[in-house]
């Protein structure tokens, strides 16, 4: 991948999410049907902590003054009754980082413990799409750099996503730099190419990209909006910020994260990387009222309601449909 600015940040971010992906793939391989039957979430917990440890280590080593707002902290792992879980985290991290001590790893996890806005900060979701991970389906490692309230670098790694809509190869990482576009490549670091949204401008031909889990976004409201738009195509359902990637490369035109209850505040790590990937691919991302996402309030998108991501060409139509169906009036 080639970008003219933020070269070091891009290099570090890509290496970090690829190392984390290696760990996550090894952990996901341990998930068994028996675990699914027992609703055993331990594999995703191990991968979550291990992924955060590796990414935060890399960021801190390269940019020691940069805070990281991550999803996890080591408090739970430090409890005596969690000794077995901690041992698994340590074991998997050591596969990627030979010689890492338990205290090293706990410290790396806690590097991601920032919570306040800073003029320059990173935000990390070490595993976005936990249920997708457990189903051995889609999940993402999402890392974004925010400067002066704007996401300027994004690395979005989707280990189980196909490298293209017509490809059987899986594992792709997307990288975007503000003002310089979005590129993707396979996990082996080859086949880099530019990414662009679709050119579909008719909502009747547009495709929705939705969460598998209805608890993450209101499927009922989405159905009403789809009807208002005259959408005839079947929705693409998948977990995690892989949905942003799907829209960015033109496999769908619309992703809506509609609030499931009044007052819900989205977390920045769920949207920062994906937002830039779509915008730099030529698309548009706002909240349900058409406002730009505001990353100046720490952990949460406190001044926004929901998220709408499109190829840009149908964005105004989607916002109009949200208003027509009453979604924007119900959410405060």
Residues 123-168: tens digit of each pLDDT:
999 999 999 999 999 999 999 999 999 999 999 999 999 988 777 8
Q: Which residue has the higher pLDDT, 155 or 223?
A: 155
In a domain, 186, yes or no: yes
Q: Are strands 181-186 and 170-177 parallel, antiparallel or unpaired?
A: antiparallel
In a domain, 1, yes or no: no
Residues 292-313: tens digit of each pLDDT:
999 999 999 999 999 999 999 9
User: Which pLDDT does position 252 carry in this prediction?
Assistant: 96
> What's the pLDDT band for 218 if we cut at 50, 70, 90?
low
147 and 290 co-located in one domain: no
The residue among 308, 165, 320, 328 whose CA lies nearest residue 230 is 320
Instruction: Say how many domains are in the chain.
Output: 2
Q: Are strands 140-147 and 150-162 parallel, antiparallel or unpaired?
A: antiparallel
In a domain, 2, yes or no: no
Q: Which of 195, 212, 231 is the last residue of a domain?
A: 195
Contact between 170 and 80 under an 8 Å Cβ cutoff? The reply is no
Residues 106-132: tens digit of each pLDDT:
999 999 999 999 999 999 999 999 999
Residues 31-86: tens digit of each pLDDT:
987 787 777 889 999 999 999 999 999 999 999 999 999 999 999 999 999 999 99
The residue among 182, 156, 159, 123 whose CA lies nearest residue 1 is 182
User: Which pLDDT does position 331 carry in this prediction?
Assistant: 60
176 and 104 co-located in one domain: yes
In a domain, 263, yes or no: yes
Strand arrangement of the beta sheet that strand 120-128 belongs to: 68-70, 120-128, 140-147, 150-162, 170-177, 181-186, 193-195
Instruction: Report pTM.
Output: 0.95
User: Which pLDDT does position 191 carry in this prediction?
Assistant: 80
**CATH number of the CATH domain containing 102:** 3.30.540.10
User: Which pLDDT does position 332 carry in this prediction?
Assistant: 55
> What's the pLDDT band for 232 if we cut at 50, 70, 90?
confident
Domain limits for position 318: 203-330
Map residue 172 onto helix, strand or coil.
strand
Q: Which two tokens stand for residue 126?
A: 């070490």
| Number of Cβ within a 10 Å radius of residue 298 | 16
14 and 137 co-located in one domain: yes
Query: With 70 as the cut, is the pLDDT of residue 330 above it?
Result: no
Q: Which of 161, 195, 229 is the last residue of a domain?
A: 195
Mean pLDDT value of segment 257-275: 92
**CATH number of the CATH domain containing 231:** 3.40.190.80
The residue among 187, 134, 241, 191 whose CA lies nearest residue 22 is 187
Could you give the residue numbers annotated as active site? 48, 130
19 and 94 co-located in one domain: yes
Q: Which residues neighbour 40 within 8 Å (Cβ) at sequence distance 6 or greater?
A: 34
Q: Which two tokens stand for residue 69?
A: 């707002």
Q: Which two tokens stand for residue 184?
A: 């993707």
User: Which pLDDT does position 1 carry in this prediction?
Assistant: 84
Q: Is 168 exposed, middle or buried (0-12, 13-18, 19+ CB in 10 A)?
A: exposed
Q: φ and ψ at 277, to 5 degrees?
A: -60, -45
């Amino acid at each position: 991948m080639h970008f003219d600015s933020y070269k070091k940040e891009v290099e570090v971010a890509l290496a970090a999410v690829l190392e984390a992906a290696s760990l996550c793939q090894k952990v996901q391989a341990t998930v068994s049907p028996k675990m699914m039957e027992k609703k055993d979430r331990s594999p995703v917990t191990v991968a979550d902590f291990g992924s955060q440890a590796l990414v935060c280590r890399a960021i801190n080593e390269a940019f020691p003054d940069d805070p990281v707002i991550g999803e996890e902290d080591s408090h739970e792992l430090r409890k005596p009754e969690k000794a077995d879980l901690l041992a698994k985290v340590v074991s998997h991290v050591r596969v990627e980082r030979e010689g890492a001590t338990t205290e090293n790893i706990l410290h790396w996890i806690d590097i991601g413990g920032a919570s306040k806005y800073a003029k320059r900060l990173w935000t990390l979701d070490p595993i976005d799409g936990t249920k997708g991970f457990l189903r051995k389906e889609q999940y993402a490692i999402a890392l974004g750099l925010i400067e002066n309230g704007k996401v300027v670098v994004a690395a979005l790694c989707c280990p189980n996503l196909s490298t293209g809509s017509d490809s059987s190869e899986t594992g792709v990482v997307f990288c975007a730099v503000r003002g310089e576009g979005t590129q993707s490549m396979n996990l082996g670091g080859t086949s880099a190419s530019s990414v662009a949204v679709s050119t579909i401008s008719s909502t009747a031909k547009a495709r929705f990209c939705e969460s598998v889990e209805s608890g993450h976004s209101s499927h009922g409201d989405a159905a009403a909006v789809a009807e208002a738009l005259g959408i005839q195509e079947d929705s693409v359902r998948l977990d995690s910020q892989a949905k942003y990637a799907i829209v960015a490369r033109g496999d769908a035109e619309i992703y809506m994260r509609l609030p499931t209850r009044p007052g819900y505040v989205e977390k920045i790590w769920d949207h920062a990387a994906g937002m830039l990937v779509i915008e730099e691919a030529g698309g548009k991302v706002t909240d349900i009222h058409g406002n730009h996402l505001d990353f100046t309030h720490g952990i949460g998108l406190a001044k926004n309601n929901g998220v709408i991501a499109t190829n840009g060409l149908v964005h105004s139509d989607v916002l109009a449909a949200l208003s027509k169906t009453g979604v924007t009036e119900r959410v405060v």
